[in-house]
Structure 1
């Protein structure tokens, strides 16, 4: 297996690993308000999340940023919770406008990507070569694997949302509220049981 596929697969499996479901939970909460017709917006958000993720890995791997892992492991579920609760507040009011402030969501997604990337930085440091000039390409290959996996997850969310809304006649608002509440509920124990306390 070439080095490209090695690091690409590590990135792919990092997102799709059922034991590391926090990444998937974030993507579910992020993608819920969108439909296939919004593919440009959701692709932009997913890519910004990957850019943030990769930026924090680069800064960490090259020793420019060091942060306590307990803080990162606390902040990751907080980002998921905030995203889910944002959906709930936005969609709870029947009369409110559902138009996104794309700039606000884009900046927030980028920042949340940075936090999530820091959560994987210790592992990536172990598997990378200690030579500085041999770190950049594996990190970019890893980022491509992350991006591919995120697209798979987002497409799955969009497809499931389409089926539930079109065939099971579940109102979009209700679907977003129910699934966002589920995601928020799953993250509460993660936050409460954090080592930071």
Structure 2
């Protein structure tokens, strides 16, 4: 049972680690356009993202695919930038008409990219462990739990800013997405260019 908590906490810390806040930035722009009544859609998008994350982590852990860490980390920021830009260009439009299948496919694809960025560290953590499947699932549960925490915080902030401070949904999405976009561009410029 203690092994469960080791990998579960590793998954939690992977998302909630403020030193590597790429995951938090991505989750912010992924769900900033939603409100609490959209919880089913948000749940599926975030869960499918976790599935993609776990698939690429498994493929890398079992040496089916290999990507340089720097390349994977750059691609993570590309997903953040792409999602923020999508939000900015579609803010104020009725995004609920966007087909859920398209959103799920994009979330899965972006999850695959994010999982690759963490795969080398996960391989080191499971080095010497014969079966890596159970630790990987425990890690995925930790990731999902942490993502739910971040999503709830973002939805709560959205609620507060849109109801208490009277931000329009369009303005809220544009401001938050623009801030995340600026942070992501700065990180790319400082670390990859």
Q: TM-score, normalised by structure 1?
A: 0.93
The answer to whether the aligner puts 1:11 opposite 2:8 as a matched pair is: no
Identify the residue that residue 141 of structure 1 maps to in structure 2.
Answer: 138
Instruction: Give the one of 154, 166, 180 matched to 2:151.
Output: 154
Structure 1 ranges of 4+ moved more than 6 A: none
The count of corresponding residues between Structure 1 and Structure 2 is 192
Q: How far did 1:69 drift?
A: 1.4
Identify the residue that residue 180 of structure 1 maps to in structure 2.
Answer: 177
Q: How far did 1:193 drift?
A: 3.0
Q: Deviations over 1:131-153 (max 9, x none)?
A: 44x20000000000000000000
SS in 2 for 1:66: coil
Gaps of 5+ in 1: none
Q: Deviations over 1:111-169 (max 9, x none)?
A: 1111111111011001104344x200000000000000000000000001001111111
SS in 2 for 1:19: coil
Q: How far did 1:10 drift?
A: 0.5
Q: Output the CA distance in 2 between the equivalents of 1:18 and 1:97.
A: 32
Identify the residue that residue 101 of structure 1 maps to in structure 2.
Answer: 99
Identify the residue that residue 49 of structure 2 maps to in structure 1.
Answer: 49
SS in 2 for 1:115: helix
Alpha-carbon RMSD across the aligned residues, in angstroms, is: 1.3
Gaps of 5+ in 2: none
Q: Output the CA distance in 2 between the equivalents of 1:88 and 1:52.
A: 25
The answer to whether the aligner puts 1:112 opposite 2:110 as a matched pair is: yes
The answer to whether the aligner puts 1:191 opposite 2:188 as a matched pair is: yes
The 8 Å contact of residues 15 and 149 in structure 1, kept in 2 or not, is answered as: yes
The 8 Å contact of residues 52 and 114 in structure 1, kept in 2 or not, is answered as: yes
The 8 Å contact of residues 48 and 109 in structure 1, kept in 2 or not, is answered as: yes
The 8 Å contact of residues 73 and 194 in structure 1, kept in 2 or not, is answered as: no
Identify the residue that residue 39 of structure 1 maps to in structure 2.
Answer: 39
Q: Deviations over 1:72-104 (max 9, x none)?
A: 11111110000010000011xx5x433323222
